[in-house]
Amino acid sequence: MLTIKNLHALAGEKQVLKGLDLEVGAGEVHAIMGPNGSGKSTLAQVLAGREGYSVTDGSVTYKGKDLLALPPEERAREGVFLAFQYPVEIPGVNNVYLLKAGLNAIRKHRGESEMDAFEFLTLVREKMNLMQMDESFLNRGVNEGFSGGEKKRNEILQMAVLEPALALLDETDSGLDIDALRVVANGVNSLRRQDRAIVMVTHYQRLLDYIEPDKVHVLSDGKIIKSGDKSLALELEKRGYDWVKQEAAA
Amino acid sequence: MASNPQTDPTLEALVAQKYRHGFVTDIESDTVPPGLDEDVITFISRKKGEPQFMLDWRLRSYRHWLTMKEPHWAHLRIQPIDYQSISYYSAPKPKADAPKSLEEVDPKLLETYDKLGIPLHERARLAGVAVDAVFDSVSVATTFKERLHKAGVIFCSFSEAVQKYPELVEKYLGSVVPYTDNYFATLNSAVFTDGSFVFVPKGVRCPMELSTYFRINAAKTGQFERTLIVAEEGSHVSYLEGCTAPMRDENQLHAAVVELIALEGAQIKYSTVQNWYPGDENGVGGIYNFVTKRGECRGANSKISWTQVETGSAITWKYPSCILTGDNSVGEFYSVAVANNYQQADTGTKMIHIGKNTRSTIVSKGISAGHGQNAYRGLVKVLPSAINARNFTQCDSLLMGDKCGAHTFPYMEVRTPTASVEHEATTSKIGDDQLFYCLSRGISEEDAVNMIVNGFCKAVFKELPMEFAVEAQNLLAVSLEGSVG
Ligand SMILES: Nc1ncnc2c1ncn2[C@@H]1O[C@H](COP(=O)(O)OP(=O)(O)OP(=O)(O)O)[C@@H](O)[C@H]1O
Ligand SMILES: [Mg+2]
């Protein structure tokens, strides 16, 4: 589904990604862990196509296509979804309106008909139920005045509605209380499918108790320096990152 | 993530829109040669068959105007206006005489309205909106007269009002905006050719929204519209004004006057969606729009609210104002002003508190793009008599790109210690992070910009009548994003 080879990228002027390789197959769940500032969010932004992040070398192939050649909205329509580490507030724009516009743009791209208001609301209500979100969130401005945890929940609601093929979750677990973490994790788990890949950036093993990853990677200084199964996360939790860095340097 | 400070080239391309309504209807005009003197004024008055008091008033205005100096403003760049090169009267030639129904209206005119997206038949049938469409200087079509007539509401062209209700016109004309008021209002008083007149009698709720579309058509024609709305005790009326002009190379002067009078317990809601040709991307052409709009809450417990969406004009200079004379009266001003390319918008409001417990609310949203300059200028004046007066002002500016500007000039003059006056102001750039958030959900850049800007304007749009709100959103889309193709 996703093949990243030797990816070098600048965030602004700064060389952040320095030869990153990653292979994610359909149906798989990958966790990316790593120290602050190592480039995890940069990777997510580069994959989603954010301006200001430029690729200087390497390639990204998604479903056999050159992902980097597509503008961000095309990537979204092709099924790439990014749950932001810091979801943005857009005052005055209805949460539900944004979601509907997004869904219909994606459906149109797939050659499907646009959803009418009734169908759409039925769908959103069902997903909101899943996320245990109050209906009042529908009519509020996008993330406007949402608490940190509510914003994260809203990201996963969007994922549930947009049904991406490749979901990138950037620290979706940070800022969630214990109950919310379970709800969000259940939400994500219910979205696990044979034809869908999920890449989660996280700092905490706890999330992985709920969402079991097929693979765990350590991103340090712009590269994946170690990969393993879920036991790697447990080990990192116990021992921190230094030993991995040393091992990689050796 | 930190946002990228560089201007987004695609955003700029989107902002560089083409004016959609640029075409000229080919109709033989009955136009006086350019120039202004007492003969021209007398010609206009005769042409319209006015009573003596009107002609006298015009001439008084003209003589006063000759003693006045054209105003100058720090924040507007203005080409000098040559008042002698303007033709002060232009009317489309009627087929026989004045059309008595839509069927008699010149099909070319109707076609023009269609292009502007105002199919009269459609409107008439659908919305129950009475349309007094002004084409250049003469009203050509009025619908729904009957229903209004039954309710006792008078809604007609100004010319017709002068003929049929001279005593009402004489009583209220110039009672809010005196002919000596300001350079452009005085000029208007001398040469105005037509406009709308509304009279809602005591206790009547006007059964429908009243709507007028203005349109400038003939080349080198100054437009001097005059609108007078009188709401008697306890009556309610909502009035919609919309403007759009065809493409022109010369700057055209527009100096309208709108007077509103609300008697005790009356409510007037005046909404404007203005889309005059703003000039091309280099600032050539476009309408000069100097408008005097003022309402007086003359009676206790009355209310006047102005809502405006300004997307056009090369230069807009406009301060819809409220004089809150009656105790407990309420004045409101909700505004969205867009300045794109080389447009200069200088708008705002004046709230003059005279009566006790008078309240005013001002919500102004300025959007600047390209080289556009947007200025908000507001005056809140509380006289000693206005015990317990309250004002709340909120001014927000949104910048798109880094070559545009926003300026806020709030003036307050409070002469009673019992008053409370609050002012809030914000300036923000359309965020790359907001834009990217929308893109990453599959939404196109054009739709995303539109969505964000509309969100920014929401507090004003919700004040507009339903059908206007949709139109306003479409207009914003056109002025900021350009229709592709
Ligand atoms: N636009 C930018 N301009 C300059 N530097 C940037 C920019 N964006 C990110 N950086 C820098 O790049 C490095 C990587 O940032 P990134 O956000 O990818 O880290 P991260 O691994 O997600 O960290 P965290 O765990 O704290 O979220 C940081 O040092 C950051 O300051
Ligand atoms: Mg991060």
CB B405 within 8 A of CB B433: no
Å from CA of A39 to ligand 2 middle: 7
Secondary structure of residue A210 in the 3-state scheme? helix
Which helix (H) or strand (E) element contains residue B269? strand B267-275
pLDDT at residue number B194: 82
Residue nearest to atom 18 of ligand 1 (CA): A39
pLDDT tens, residue by residue, B96-116: 444 555 565 566 555 555 555
CB B465 within 8 A of CB B36: no
pLDDT at residue number B278: 64
Residue to test with chain A: of B441, B443, B454, most A Cβ within 10 A: B441
pLDDT tens, residue by residue, B141-184: 445 666 788 899 998 888 889 999 999 999 999 999 999 999 99
Distance CA B304, CA B377 (A): 19
Q: Is A187 in the pocket of ligand 1 (CB under 6 A)?
A: no
Size of interface A-B (CB pairs under 8 A): 96
Look at A48 and B442 and tell me if their CB atoms are within 8 Å: no
- Span B373-398, mean pLDDT? 93
pLDDT tens, residue by residue, B404-437: 888 888 899 999 999 999 998 888 777 788 999 9
Distance CA A192, CA B391 (A): 55
Question: By residue range, what is the domain housing residue A72?
Answer: 2-249
Q: Which amino acid is at A92?
A: G
Look at A73 and B451 and tell me if their CB atoms are within 8 Å: no
- Span B326-349, mean pLDDT? 87
The nearest alpha carbon in chain B to A12 belongs to: B4
If one residue of A14, A50, A221 were mutated to test the ligand 1 pocket, choosing by the most ligand atoms within 8 A of its CB, it would be A14
Give the domain CATH number at A52. 3.40.50.300
The nearest alpha carbon in chain B to A97 belongs to: B451
Look at B442 and A162 and tell me if their CB atoms are within 8 Å: yes
Which helix (H) or strand (E) element contains residue B259? strand B257-262
- The model's pTM is 0.76
- Backbone torsion region of residue A2, taken as left when φ is above 0, otherwise alpha when ψ lies between -120 and 50, otherwise beta: beta
Minimal Cβ distance to B443: which of A84, A91, A101: A101
pLDDT tens, residue by residue, B274-290: 766 666 666 666 777 78
Å from CA of A217 to ligand 2 middle: 15
> Please, how many CA atoms are within 13 Å of residue B24, restricted to the half-sphere of its CB?
11
Strand-pairing partners, residue B347, are B318, B376
pLDDT at residue number A224: 96
Backbone phi, psi, residue B227, to 5°: -125, 135
Q: Is A154 in the pocket of ligand 1 (CB under 6 A)?
A: no
What are the residue boundaries of the structural domains of chain B, listed by start?
8-71+81-85, 102-431
Distance CA A59, CA B476 (A): 40
Q: What is the edge-to-edge ordering of all strands in the sheet holding A197-201?
A: A80-83, A166-170, A197-201, A29-33, A215-220, A223-228
Question: ipTM of the assembly?
Answer: 0.96
What residues of chain A have any CB closer than 8 angstroms to a CB in chain B?
12, 41, 45, 48-52, 71-73, 75-77, 81-82, 84, 86-93, 97-99, 101-103, 105-106, 109, 141-142, 158, 162
Strands B373-382 and B330-339 come out as unpaired
CB B189 within 8 A of CB B158: no
Q: Work out how many domains chain A is built from and give that number.
A: 1
